[in-house]
Amino acid sequence: MSRQAKAPASDAALPSLDQFAAGKLTQLEAQHLRRTLIDSAREGGIYIVRNGRRLISFSCNDYLNLTQHPRIKAAAIEAIRLHGVGAGASRLVTGNHPLFAELEVRLARLKDTEACCVFGSGYLANSGIIPALTGHEDLVLIDELAHACIWAGAQLAKGTVIAFRHNDTSDAERLLRLHRARHPHVLIATDGVFSMDGDLAPLHELAALARRHDAWLLSDDAHGIGVIGGGRGSNFANGRKADVPLQMGTLSKAIGGYGGYLCASAPVIDLVRNRARTLIYSTGLPPATVAAAIAAIDLIEREPDYAALPLRKAKAFTRQVGLPEAQSPIVPVLIGESEAALAASRLLQEEGFLAVAIRPPTVPEGTARLRLTFSAAHPDEEIARLAGIVRTRILKS
């Protein structure tokens, strides 16, 4: 049992570090913001066993169920046999096992760029790329709803950071008119698919804006690769390629494993390999993880109909509930207050569904929600049952 659980009266006797931690936790508790980790065992592509109950998960980012795919598991096991369990060093020292080059060629081809650099994770990628390309004199313009790791990267770059209104190209243009002249370089950064809302960024408009103002456009396609644009990502949505010179993303969602990447021109990738501190000072990904990503890309390229299923299923759900049509496999069901969102999540759990409530500060105040994610393996009849409950008992429309 932890000390703090035993006797708050004895707080004064705790070392100051523990007192500090216990005090912060009490504050979070009072705001209903304290979080806990729950053992969640995956079973097959879509089931999770939690607290002794088997639930169908609508809260995984495993859109293509590739975390559990036999061919991908076999590729990872074979890589361990051949190369061992770890890279043994940073990629720039001796950790660059031969699978990296193969994965980078495959990603660059998928994204139609000259080159690619693989990082330890998506978070590490943005934390390394943005400070490698911009510095204290530069400006980084970020969509207000963009992912936390874009903000982290921009802070490490130590330049000026300004948010533009969500998906509002005119607001971004207004800011460029005001500030562009004062900065040698400007980076515009956005999610390609927004992780909590599931909507797509207007990448064609942002690309045109970036060209007009000589700014560099970065899109974070963590939730687009594998599932949008025939598996090639959100800048290939609707069959029209958007001109995004910095295409970043993760290997931990539809790709099913772990890792991050940047696809870009050869000189940009060369520079990033020389300057991104999260690449230079962090150990290379394990061989099994890199092999799994290669096998996943194989599957996505060979089976575009399978890659299209998560979005198709999300659209079926939004149609059945009467929500705006899904643009990605992520569908938010807006509830409002945190406690109501938690109650909705509990109701679904009683019906055998796992749909985690997302609360502030992850989403803006007053927009607590269920964030549903659809995968290729979700049975149509379970989607229909979920839609019925959401429509009649949660939204009551």
Active site residues: 195, 223, 253
Q: Do residues 354 and 50 touch, judged by C-beta distance below 8 A? A: yes
Number of helices (H) and strands (E), helices first, in the chain?
15, 14
Q: In sequence order, what DSSP letters do the residues of 72-85 get, joined into one string?
A: HHHHHHHHHHHH-S
Contact characters 3-42, ligand PLP, x per CB under 6 A: ----------------------------------------
| Beta carbon of residue 24, minimum distance to ligand PLP (angstroms, whole number) | 24
Residue 167: partners with Cβ closer than 8 Å, 6 or more residues away: 143, 199, 201, 202
| Beta carbon of residue 201, minimum distance to ligand PLP (angstroms, whole number) | 11
Give residues 188-217 in contact with ligand PLP (rule: CB under 6 A): 191, 195
Nearer to ligand PLP, 95 or 260 (CB): 260
**Which of these segments, 26-34, 120-128, 166-174, 358-366, binds ligand PLP (CB under 6 A)?**
120-128
- Contact call for residue 122 and ligand PLP (CB under 6 A): yes
- Contact call for residue 147 and ligand PLP (CB under 6 A): yes
Among 59, 250, 327, 367, binds ligand PLP (CB under 6 A): 250
Nearer to ligand PLP, 120 or 159 (CB): 120
Residue type present at position 66: L
Count of CA atoms in the C-beta half-sphere (13 A) of 288: 13
C-alpha dist (Å) from residue 309 to 209, 228, 230, 303, 375: 33, 10, 10, 11, 7
| Beta carbon of residue 348, minimum distance to ligand PLP (angstroms, whole number) | 22
The helix-helix angle for 70-83 and 287-302 (nearest 10°) equals 150
Residue type present at position 290: V
Q: Do residues 195 and 236 touch, judged by C-beta distance below 8 A? A: no
Nearer to ligand PLP, 128 or 231 (CB): 128
**Beta strand 216-220 with 246-250: parallel, antiparallel or unpaired?**
parallel
Among 198, 260, 286, 329, binds ligand PLP (CB under 6 A): 260
- Contact call for residue 252 and ligand PLP (CB under 6 A): yes
**Which of these segments, 119-127, 175-183, 281-289, 345-353, binds ligand PLP (CB under 6 A)?**
119-127
In the complex, the residues that contact ligand PLP under the rule CB under 6 A are 121-123, 147, 149, 191, 195, 220, 222-223, 250, 252, 260
